[in-house]
């Protein structure tokens, strides 16, 4: 069966109390709408239609590279009206149309695929659930397999969706409710939404009315109950967004631990992208992983680290409070605490980057060390280099960046300034406190600092009496 997906993303989200359109708020570093688009791709949609409305320009620009088709619902006159706007964009060659919602981000592709399979191109399939508190959800009324009366059984065909305000006491006792997600034969859905009317108190076109149309026409209506309520939970305010964030993170933590990752506390982990781990990886509390991060075998990540778009080699240790962004860390390297690796930093095996050291767009070969209070920017650093405390590469002249090249086994003393472009030859030693603006020869001591002097008879100024 081939598939259209319609994603409802037109709502304003007033209760979010934000200028940002609701579907662009982020969960685990990704917009709510992008989560749903990912689910649509995961279920094999051949065409995805996104219905926009409030903040349409911003929403469409945010997911412009998704390959989706956009239609606008202006004004917003209900869910049925939204699908009416999408109908001209649906591909008639696709047998089934799946309806999803841009503020329901945790629907799993496998759940959506099962609903599509239940539809089969010849019946209407609804996704339902049994919340602890059915509250004011619309109830799923099924036929009783014994005598045809409405029941709260999980078996029997769906006869209707009854809104809470219209339900009888018996119907309000039903625990099965409708999520809003459905899969329908495309040709039938087009006919049904064309016949919708707004003869109700809200003067809106309700998509749920197609259930009664299907029943009246003898089209079977099935409801599949999803076990995990979070899959169909919508987000209407900041509290619900935070709640689903934790649900998502619990899922990530469970998956990592299933593959052997040792998490100091699964409740204090944030994965905002793709995190892959080898064997015997250990992650301490309050770490954040963003973008695409790879941790090889035996990596240890200390508490309160932020790691984004990075590869960490086998056996490397990332000490607490380290920030890594767009960097590569070699096997057996030690980084931190309180270190910062910026984009373009590439550390070779067994490199040591210590506390309050920043590295940007620089490569450090095997065994190089910058153990504290240093800056390496736009530098090529050889093997076995020792880069002293308080030393920096002065790589920016106010207009352009320049490169510093440091040969193998160079020793740079404390509080040195290397004014790029400059090269330090293999085995060179730079005396502490030097400002090096010219190339330093290999194997020799180079010192560039003012001569120390003591002034006899000098006295420190005293305060004048008041």
Given a contact cutoff of 8 angstroms between Cβ atoms, the answer to whether 379 and 393 are in contact is yes
For residues 299 and 397, state if they share a domain.
yes
Instruction: Please choose, from the candidates 204, 212, 210, 289, the residue with its C-alpha nearest in 3D space to the C-alpha of residue 255.
Output: 289
CATH number assigned to the domain comprising residue 261? 2.160.10.10
Task: Determine, yes or no, domain membership for 242.
Answer: no
For residues 132 and 176, state if they share a domain.
yes
Domain boundary at 202, 232, 262, which? 232
**Token pair recorded at residue 121:** 């191109």
Calculated CA dihedral for residues 101, 107, 111, 117, nearest 10 degrees: 20
Task: Determine, yes or no, domain membership for 435.
Answer: yes
Calculated CA dihedral for residues 384, 389, 390, 391, nearest 10 degrees: -20
Task: Give, in order, the Cα–Cα distances in Å from 320 to each of 39, 77, 268.
Answer: 35, 52, 14
pLDDT for 217 equals 96
Given a contact cutoff of 8 angstroms between Cβ atoms, the answer to whether 11 and 25 are in contact is no
For residues 255 and 226, state if they share a domain.
no
Task: Determine, yes or no, domain membership for 240.
Answer: no
What is the residue range of 228's domain?
Answer: 3-232
pLDDT for 343 equals 98
User: How distant is the alpha carbon of residue 144 from its chain centre?
Assistant: 44
Task: Determine, yes or no, domain membership for 461.
Answer: no
For residues 186 and 42, state if they share a domain.
yes
Show Cβ contacts of residue 423 under 8 Å, excluding neighbours closer than 6 positions.
404, 405, 406, 407, 439, 440
How many whole angstroms separate alpha carbon 158 and alpha carbon 62?
38
Task: Determine, yes or no, domain membership for 276.
Answer: yes
CA atoms within 13 A on the CB side of 73: 28
For residues 226 and 290, state if they share a domain.
no
For residues 73 and 178, state if they share a domain.
yes
For residues 208 and 331, state if they share a domain.
no
Q: Which long-range contacts (CB under 8 A, 24 or more apart) does 107-112 make?
A: 107/36, 107/39, 107/181, 107/231, 107/232, 108/39, 108/228, 108/231, 109/38, 109/39, 109/41, 109/42, 109/43, 111/226, 111/231, 112/39, 112/40, 112/42, 112/43, 112/181
CATH number assigned to the domain comprising residue 217? 3.90.550.10
Task: Determine, yes or no, domain membership for 331.
Answer: yes
Q: Are strands 287-295 and 269-277 parallel, antiparallel or unpaired?
A: parallel
How many whole angstroms separate alpha carbon 231 and alpha carbon 233?
6
Number of domains within the chain: 2
Angle at 383 (CA atoms; ends 377, 386), nearest 5 degrees: 65
Task: Determine, yes or no, domain membership for 7.
Answer: yes
Active-site residues: which are they? 372
For residues 191 and 292, state if they share a domain.
no
Neighbours of 242 (CB within 10 A): 11
pLDDT for 6 equals 98
pTM (two decimals): 0.90
For residues 213 and 263, state if they share a domain.
no
pLDDT for 146 equals 41
Task: Determine, yes or no, domain membership for 50.
Answer: yes
For residues 319 and 214, state if they share a domain.
no
For residues 171 and 298, state if they share a domain.
no
- pLDDT by residue, tens only, the chain of 466 residues: 799 999 999 998 999 999 999 999 999 999 999 999 999 999 999 999 999 999 999 999 999 999 999 999 999 999 999 999 999 999 988 899 999 999 999 999 999 999 999 999 999 999 999 998 888 889 999 986 444 455 666 778 899 898 888 889 999 999 999 999 999 999 999 999 999 999 887 889 999 999 999 999 999 999 999 999 999 999 999 999 999 999 999 999 999 999 999 999 999 999 999 999 999 999 999 999 999 999 999 999 999 999 999 999 999 999 999 999 999 999 999 999 999 999 999 999 999 999 999 999 999 999 999 999 999 999 999 999 999 999 999 999 999 999 999 999 999 999 999 999 999 999 999 999 999 999 999 999 999 988 889 999 999 888 888 7
For residues 267 and 416, state if they share a domain.
yes
């Amino acid at each position: 069966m081939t598939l259209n997906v319609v994603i409802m993303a037109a709502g304003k989200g007033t209760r979010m109390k934000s200028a940002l359109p609701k579907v662009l708020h982020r969960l685990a570093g990704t917009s709510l709408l992008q989560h749903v688009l990912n689910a649509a791709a995961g279920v094999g949609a051949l065409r995805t239609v996104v219905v926009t409305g409030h903040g349409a320009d911003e929403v469409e620009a945010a997911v412009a590279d998704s390959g989706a088709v956009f239609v606008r619902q202006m004004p917003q006159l209900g869910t049925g009206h939204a699908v009416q706007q999408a109908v001209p964009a649906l591909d008639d060659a696709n047998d089934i149309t799946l309806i999803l919602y841009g503020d329901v981000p945790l629907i799993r592709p496998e759940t959506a695929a099962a609903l599509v399979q239940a539809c089969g191109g010849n019946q209407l399939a609804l996704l339902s659930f049994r919340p602890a508190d059915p509250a004011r959800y619309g109830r799923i009324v099924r036929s009783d397999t014994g005598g045809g009366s409405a029941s709260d059984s999980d078996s029997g065909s769906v006869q209707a969706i009854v809104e809470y305000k219209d339900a009888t006491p018996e119907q309000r006792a039903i625990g099965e409710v409708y999520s809003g997600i459905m899969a329908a034969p495309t040709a039938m859905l087009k006919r049904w939404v064309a016949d919708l009317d707004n003869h109700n108190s809200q003067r809106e076109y309700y998509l749920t009315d197609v259930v009664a149309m299907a029943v009246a026409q003898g089209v079977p209506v099935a409801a599949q109950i999803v076990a995990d309520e979070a899959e169909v939970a919508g987000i209407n305010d900041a509290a619900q967004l935070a709640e689903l964030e934790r649900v998502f993170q619990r899922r990530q933590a469970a998956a990592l631990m299933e593959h052997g990752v040792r998490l100091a506390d699964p409740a204090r982990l944030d994965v905002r992208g793709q995190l892959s781990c080898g064997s015997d990886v250990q992650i301490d509390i309050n770490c954040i992983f963003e973008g695409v991060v790879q941790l090889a075998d035996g990596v240890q990540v200390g508490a309160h680290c932020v790691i984004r778009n990075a590869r960490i080699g086998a056996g490397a240790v990332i000490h607490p409070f380290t920030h890594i962004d767009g960097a590569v860390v070699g096997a057996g390297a030690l980084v931190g605490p309180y270190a910062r690796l910026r984009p373009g930093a590439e550390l070779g095996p067994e490199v040591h980057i210590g506390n309050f050291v920043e590295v940007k767009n620089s490569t450090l070969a095997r065994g190089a060390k910058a153990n504290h209070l240093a800056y390496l920017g736009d530098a090529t650093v050889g093997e076995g280099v020792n880069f002293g405390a308080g030393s920096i590469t002065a790589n920016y002249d106010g207009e352009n960046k320049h490169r510093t090249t440091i040969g193998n086994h160079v020793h740079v003393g404390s509080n040195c300034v290397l004014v790029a472009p400059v090269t330090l030859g293999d085995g060179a030693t730079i005396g502490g406190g030097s400002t090096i603006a010219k190339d330093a020869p290999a194997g020799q001591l180079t010192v560039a600092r003012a001569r120390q002097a003591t002034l006899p008879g000098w006295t420190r100024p005293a305060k004048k009496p008041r």
